[in-house]
Structure 1
Amino acid sequence: MRKSTIVVLSLIVISILSVYFINQPGLTPEQSLPRKELLVYCGITMIQPMSEIATIVEKQENIKISIIKGGSGNLLRSIKFNRLGDLYLPGSESYISQAMKDDLIEESTHIGYNKAAIMVRQGNPKNIPPGVTTLLNPDLYIVIGNPDTGSIGKETKKILTAAGIFNQAMQNAKELTTDSKRLVEVLKKGEADLVINWYATSTWPENSEQIDALPINNEYASKKKLVLGLLKTSKYPELAKKFMDYASSDKGRSIFERYGLYTVDQNI
């Protein structure tokens, strides 16, 4: 499954970058471009604020910005495989740290925080209590993020390991899934009773009337830095830095906050 995911992401990257190479007689690929273009890899939980910021920066700089969304781990593997792109925003700083070890990041900026929560259908029809030991209830249909494909799966593993119940919870889970988008879907469709997901997804307008979030004790679920990285493969690093500057500005952070992501100044 991992190889097929990378192949799909690679094909998406290739199709987006094909815009760079429009066949026009006598013109180089660079001359064929109507506008300079940035390619951004973005974890699913941040896609809405990043899309809004991209629209603003596009207008300010007269450029095009394409965003590829997916599980943070899958995106990192795609970056390694393709060696293309300008910016990378995963759902956890640990992926930026790994990208730095792999010599993929030129510089980075801190834009806010993410935090995990237990999520249930709105109104909590099964009266599920807060607390991670709820994941051991054999009568619940529980879906967990895969720790190898996305930031929420990786964070879930850390939470359950800290609570000393990771192996038991994994055995009790009915399904492993790739990313936060699928975790939202199974709740909204009534296919699961409980998931652990990034809190921000429960605040989005399309989800807020169907999903309730139950807090996880800070002892197990601490806030996670959101760090935007400039890739060493960037064709236009000066434009990528302008995107980074806006995303980390007060205006940029206010956009992230509107979509349920915490700003750097908030205590949670």
Structure 2
Amino acid sequence: MLLVSCGDRQTSAKKELLIYCGITMIKPMAEIAAIIEKEYDCKIYITKGGSGNLLKSLKANQLGDLYLPGSDSYIKTCVQEGLVTEAVHVGYNKAAMMTRKGNPRNIPAALESMLDPRYYVVMGNPESGSIGRETKKILVKRGIFDQAVENAKLLTTDSKDLVRVLRDNEADLVINWYATSTWPENRDAVTVLPIDEKYAHRNKLMLGLLKFSKHPEIAKAFMSYAALDKGREIFNKYGLYDVK
């Protein structure tokens, strides 16, 4: 996990907020954080990482103001456990298979490609991040999860590393969040192989207010901005709203 500051620490007088954010959503959240910092004269720090690891961290620390995981299943867990008091819809995530740019191995756009021993397959770990959890859900529905795990050469932590293994020619095939393929730094590195709609659905991105927020009024202002038109435009810019 990494801590991202949207400003400097020159003054300790300002109110400080802490956001736990899944890696795929860090770009729009940092952009909105800069807007809220200016409007409310506050400092916002963003801890980014795999959604599952972030959940473990916020449970252990009992600190922070907002939580944005890569799937609403984590928010549902938080609501059930009393960790989140309210949540708003800010966008969508959808999974896709990805290969190196141009699909040099001519991998078929079928989930069964995850079982082919000719390909170096890397998968997200269901225990550490939302894309791993989503991958498991997709492959279980197709009835091939166990076989895919057996064929995978590596289980990695999060969406960022799933892009990295393709960029560094360390993998032939992954399942990752579609949004990562739209970013400028990744467009020339990956090719998307869409997954059939009956297996890969749009996942709601829900931004939750943590029960131990020290500044809920500012956190709620952040939530309101992110959930309305200007915020949705920002999320859409990074492939996280109008997902087909």
TM > 0.5 fold call: yes
Q: Please, which of 52, 69, 77 is the counterpart of residue 48 of structure 2?
A: 69
Q: What does residue range 71-150 of structure 1 map to in structure 2 within 5 Å?
A: 71-150=50-129
List gaps (5 residues or longer) in structure 2. none
Are residues 1:247 and 2:226 paired?
Answer: yes
Q: Please, which of 184, 199, 216 is the counterpart of residue 220 of structure 1?
A: 199
Partner SS for 2:214:
coil
Q: Please, which of 150, 162, 169 is the counterpart of residue 171 of structure 1?
A: 150
Q: Match for residue 194 of structure 1?
A: 173
Q: Separation in 1 of the partners of 2:28 and 2:193? A: 23
Partner SS for 1:154:
helix
Q: Match for residue 210 of structure 2?
A: 231
Q: Which has the higher helix share?
A: 1
Dislocated runs of 4+, deviation >4 Å: none
Q: Please, which of 217, 240, 243 is the counterpart of residue 261 of structure 1?
A: 240
1:181 deviates by 0.8
Partner SS for 2:117:
coil
Q: Match for residue 31 of structure 2?
A: 52
Q: Please, which of 204, 228, 231 is the counterpart of residue 183 of structure 2?
A: 204
May I ask how many residue pairs the two structures share in their alignment?
242
Partner SS for 2:18:
strand
Partner SS for 2:128:
coil
Q: Match for residue 5 of structure 1?
A: none
Partner SS for 1:108:
strand
List gaps (5 residues or longer) in structure 1. 1-8, 23-31
Query: What CA RMSD, in Å, does the superposition of the two structures yield over aligned residues?
Result: 1.8
Q: Separation in 2 of the partners of 1:85 and 1:143? A: 32
Q: Which has the larger radius of gyration?
A: 1
Provide, for residues 110-167 of structure 1, a one-character-per-residue CA deviation record: whole Å limited to 9, x for no partner. 1111000000011111111111111011100000000000000000000000000001
Relative to the length of structure 2, the TM-score reads 0.95
Q: Separation in 1 of the partners of 2:55 and 2:110? A: 31
The aligned amino acid for 1:222 is: H
Provide, for residues 42-67 of structure 1, a one-character-per-residue CA deviation record: whole Å limited to 9, x for no partner. 00000011111111111111111000
Q: Percent identity?
A: 61
Partner SS for 1:47:
helix
The aligned amino acid for 2:229 is: D
The aligned amino acid for 1:166 is: F
Relative to the length of structure 1, the TM-score reads 0.87
1:33 deviates by 3.0
